Amino acid sequence: MIDVLKALCDLPRPSRNRESIVDDLCAGRSVVWALPETVDAEHLVGSVLDSCAWRSVRLQTVQADAADGNPEAVLIDALGLRVDGQQDVCVRDLFAADGMPDLVLLAGFDEISPDIVPVWLRLVTEWSEAAKWYAAETGVSRALFIPIQDARLAQTIRGDVFLAVHWYWGWLSTQEMALVAASVSEERNLSYEVRMWIQSVGAELAGTDPELLCHLIYESEEEDFRGFEASDVIRTMVRFAERRGWTQEWLWEQARALGGDDALACTPWIQPGSAFASGSPAVSSFRPVCSDPKFWLTSVSGPGATRRERPAAPPASLLPLWQAGVIDWQPDEGLFIHSAALAALNNTVTLRHRMWMGQARLLLPLIDARRLEICRYLETAFHDWVPFCEDSGCVGSGSFGVSCNEAGGSSYSDSASLLNQQEPVAEFSEILQFLKTRRALDYGGLYCDVDVLRRARNALAHYTPLTWQAFCETLNTAPGARGGTVGWCS
């Protein structure tokens, strides 16, 4: 199977984020990279090292000794450095030693005993200071690369000119997930309907988690697979959440840790029927101007409200949830809560909203294209189609079937649509009315197709996700399905 994480990391946005780390390392700036526990850290770190190697950076890996309180001695021994004439070696001595590489990967940093963590943090600070001195003296860079999966530890490290802290936060989006989902589902020879669901609804539910995307794909290959009904999908995600330890009790515990005794009042994303649970996008807006958990999770408006700019790091109050993989940053939505966590909390309202978003993005354009196709067919096949449209007030509609009178003067209409004002384009209800006057034996199939499209469009227009059966019927009636055109209906 396609390496999903590798494919995602090679896409433009993740690639830019990765290269920003590589740029820092190649410039002699040490990097602490904070990663959540749920990602494949080995693969992600390897992608950074591969990019460094491509730039001819000399690299060596050192395993931080969890119990050794002398980090300089650990480095000397692991790197095989020659440092003569001193018993008490400082970081500057390491920089000038023979055999010192350009880049040192310090692995296992978050496994160091808490008692000696301050000693190793001192090494990181002194390294950045020595790097500044050494670069000024010799023009040669020396950098540390420290991936860690301990959010609190990462938070204690303060960046400077020669020390950067990067967070795996907002690296992926639904768009990247949909691209990879299309490739993976095609490679695995899934059915047309399953492929389309995976790359639309599946990508929307997966959000920024490729593991959940793969989990949904694997579910479709089970022998007892009956389709992606909403209730079955939610049960699948509940099992996924349990596998990660995201029980309802644990999530409630995290909420109480955020807000103390008042937690239930300040965590509406957990409370059924609350504003966040209803899928209100405004509530998920990120507020980098305040660290109060109530403000993060409940505020709807105010200064600093934006979803367009990704903050450099997750909010301090939500670090435990970020580290566990429960929250991330979505470019389109801002603060994003994992779908499996919502399933564990029985937040079906938000999950159904995400299912609807995936379906609407895929199906609404296809449905409307099919409507236009049918209208053009009726214009060529029936001499009374144009008079019917004129009598019904349809001539003069734009590409969205909105009459000129309705569109004119509206700030929500596209004036370019008026270019098509003489084209006889009708809504589905009017097309059905016209077809009722034709012989059912000849045009019953087309009538049924139009009715399927009408019902699907009406459901999606009212923010209601389609059932699996309705999704498949709509998909197979829309243009492009199985390579069909309007001719096969007639």
The answer to whether residues 106 and 131 belong to one domain is yes
| Among candidate residues 102, 137, 167, the one where a domain is terminated | 167
* Residue 285 and residue 351 in contact, taking contact as beta carbons nearer than 8 Å: no
Please, which residues bridge with residue 148 across strands? 34
How confident is the model over 317-330, as a mean pLDDT?
92
Distances in Å between the alpha carbon of 378 and those of 187, 296, 372? 39, 54, 10
Higher pLDDT, 89 or 486: 89
Tokens representing 166 are: 């990067």
* Residue 102 and residue 66 in contact, taking contact as beta carbons nearer than 8 Å: no
The answer to whether residues 29 and 157 belong to one domain is yes
195, part of any domain: yes
Higher pLDDT, 142 or 276: 142
Place of tokens 């050192």: 62
Tokens representing 488 are: 């096969």
- pLDDT over 90 at 458, yes or no: yes
DSSP string, 263-313: HHHH-TTTSTTSTTTTT-TTTT-B-TT---HHHHHH--SSTT-BSSS--SS
Place of tokens 């009956």: 226
pLDDT of amino acid 82: 81
The domain in which residue 197 lies consists of 174-243
pLDDT of amino acid 292: 41
344, part of any domain: no
**CATH code (residue 119):** 3.40.50
* Edge-to-edge strand list for the sheet holding 143-148: 59-63, 103-107, 143-148, 30-34, 163-167
pLDDT of amino acid 268: 41
Tokens representing 62 are: 């050192």
pTM of the model: 0.82
348, part of any domain: no
The answer to whether residues 218 and 312 belong to one domain is no
How confident is the model over 144-154, as a mean pLDDT?
93
Confidence of residue 441 (pLDDT cuts 50, 70, 90): low
355, part of any domain: no
pLDDT of amino acid 254: 84
| Among candidate residues 134, 167, 200, the one where a domain is terminated | 167
* Residue 270 and residue 345 in contact, taking contact as beta carbons nearer than 8 Å: yes
- pLDDT over 70 at 398, yes or no: no
The answer to whether residues 192 and 330 belong to one domain is no
160 SS3 class: strand
The answer to whether residues 163 and 189 belong to one domain is no
The answer to whether residues 151 and 195 belong to one domain is no
The answer to whether residues 259 and 199 belong to one domain is no
407, part of any domain: yes
The pLDDT mean for the chain works out to 81
Q: Half-sphere exposure of residue 237, counting CA atoms within 13 Å on the CB side? A: 29
Angle subtended at Cα 345 by Cα 339 and Cα 349, rounded to the nearest 5 degrees: 65
Give the residue from 473, 202, 188 showing the smallest Cα distance to 481: 473
Confidence of residue 473 (pLDDT cuts 50, 70, 90): very high
How confident is the model over 385-413, as a mean pLDDT?
60
The answer to whether residues 122 and 93 belong to one domain is yes
The answer to whether residues 255 and 220 belong to one domain is no
| Among candidate residues 167, 190, 214, the one where a domain is terminated | 167
Sign of the C-alpha dihedral, residues 476, 479, 482, 485?
A: positive
- What CA–CA distance (Å, rounded) separates 12 from 314? 22
* Residue 392 and residue 426 in contact, taking contact as beta carbons nearer than 8 Å: yes
Q: List pLDDT tens digits, range 30-80.
A: 999 999 999 999 999 999 999 999 999 999 999 887 666 788 888 888 888
pLDDT of amino acid 421: 53
The answer to whether residues 439 and 480 belong to one domain is yes
Q: Name the helix (H) or strand (E) containing 12.
A: helix 12-26
The count of domains in the chain is: 4
